């Protein structure tokens, strides 16, 4: 089950955190992985790790907010692999603040990466998938697209857009072989969390980690590996009947 042998998978934001975990797991299950990140050295580190473990991966630099960068990336990928079976739109950035604390520049920055980036990558991938008879697009949304979260105004806006883009793509291509779903994680322990705590709570990182973990009903943060396992299911043939869905993975946050 969950065999990705012979499939080509593109994972954006693959240099760390959830994206890196997805890239590693997909390669472990047989996919040829394009590890894409703005930080190409981080992507190269993940690709090299995959190669040392016997998998197939290559690192690619891309700024998903820039059409020319996305177009160049996919031209190179198709030239190298001739097909594209899986696109995981994972690249994204965060912002903390209410509407009063969110500047127009903040809104534009979040929109360009989290919304426009998903659009640009999917827009290039869909024609390729149609030509080959199908494919899978998986977008990384958030529980912020399902419920209200305090101090996440701009971030929630972008993830709401990711959710509705997911459903639109699913409906438009449901009869043409392309499935599209999204994952909606709660707080996951990634390098972003560590950096946030170090910047905002110097000397109190461990205390605040416990506080943030306790805020989720299950009593801890999720792990990138747990999100990757859900991504594997949704991108595998075992999920052939699943499209247009938003899957929370949230330690019970949306259940209470």
Digit-coded pLDDT (tens) for 140-182: 999 999 999 999 999 999 999 999 999 999 999 999 999 999 9
- The whole-number average pLDDT for the span 203-221 is 92
Do 108 and 214 lie in one domain? The reply is no
Say how far apart CA 166 and CA 82 lie, in whole Å. 25
Res 215 pLDDT > 90: no
Tell me, yes or no, whether 45 and 166 share the same domain. yes
Tell me which residues are annotated as active site.
Answer: 155
Question: Strand 135-140 vs strand 246-249: parallel, antiparallel, or unpaired?
Answer: unpaired
Question: Where residue 199 falls among pLDDT bands split at 50, 70, 90?
Answer: confident
pLDDT of residue 192: 83
CA 246 vs CA 36, 136, 160, 204: distances in Å:
23, 14, 11, 35
Residue owning tokens 């394009």: 34
In a domain, residue 3? The reply is: no
Q: Quick one: 51 and 137 in the same domain? A: yes
Q: Are residues 204 and 148 in the same domain?
A: no
Residue 197's pLDDT is 87
Q: Are residues 67 and 176 in the same domain?
A: yes
What pLDDT is stored for residue 200 in this prediction?
81
Domain that holds residue 148: 8-186+223-247
* Rounded Cα distance, 60 and 153, in Å: 31
- Count up the domains in the chain and report the number: 2
CA 118 and chain centroid, separation: 9
In a domain, 108, yes or no: yes
Residue 252 maps to a domain: no
Cβ-in-10-Å burial (0-12, 13-18, 19+) of 127 comes to: exposed
Instruction: Indicate whether 103 and 29 sit together in one domain.
Output: yes
CATH number at residue 235: 3.40.50.720
């Amino acid at each position: 089950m969950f065999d990705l042998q012979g499939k080509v998978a593109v994972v954006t934001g693959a240099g760390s955190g959830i994206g890196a975990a997805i890239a590693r797991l997909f390669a472990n299950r047989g996919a040829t992985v394009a590890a894409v990140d703005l930080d190409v050295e981080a992507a190269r580190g993940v690709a090299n790790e995959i190669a040392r473990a016997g998998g197939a991966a290559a690192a690619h630099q891309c700024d998903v907010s820039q059409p020319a960068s996305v177009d160049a990336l996919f031209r190179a990928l198709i030239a190298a692999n001739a097909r594209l079976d899986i696109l995981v739109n994972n690249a994204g950035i965060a912002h903390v603040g209410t509407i009063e604390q969110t500047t127009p520049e903040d809104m534009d920055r979040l929109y360009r990466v989290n919304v426009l980036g998903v659009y640009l990558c999917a827009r290039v991938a869909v024609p390729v998938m149609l030509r080959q008879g199908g494919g899978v697009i998986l977008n990384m949304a958030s529980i912020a697209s399902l419920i209200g979260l305090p101090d996440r105004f701009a971030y929630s806006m972008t993830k709401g857009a990711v959710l509705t883009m997911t459903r639109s793509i699913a409906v438009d291509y449901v009869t043409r072989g392309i499935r599209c779903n999204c994952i909606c994680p709660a707080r996951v322990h990634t390098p972003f969390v560590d950096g946030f705590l170090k910047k905002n709570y110097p000397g109190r990182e461990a205390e605040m980690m416990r506080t943030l973990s306790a805020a989720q009903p299950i009593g801890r943060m999720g792990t990138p590996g747990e999100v990757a396992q859900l991504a594997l299911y949704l991108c595998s043939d075992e999920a052939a009947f699943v499209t247009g869905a938003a899957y929370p993975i949230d330690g019970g946050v949306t259940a209470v």
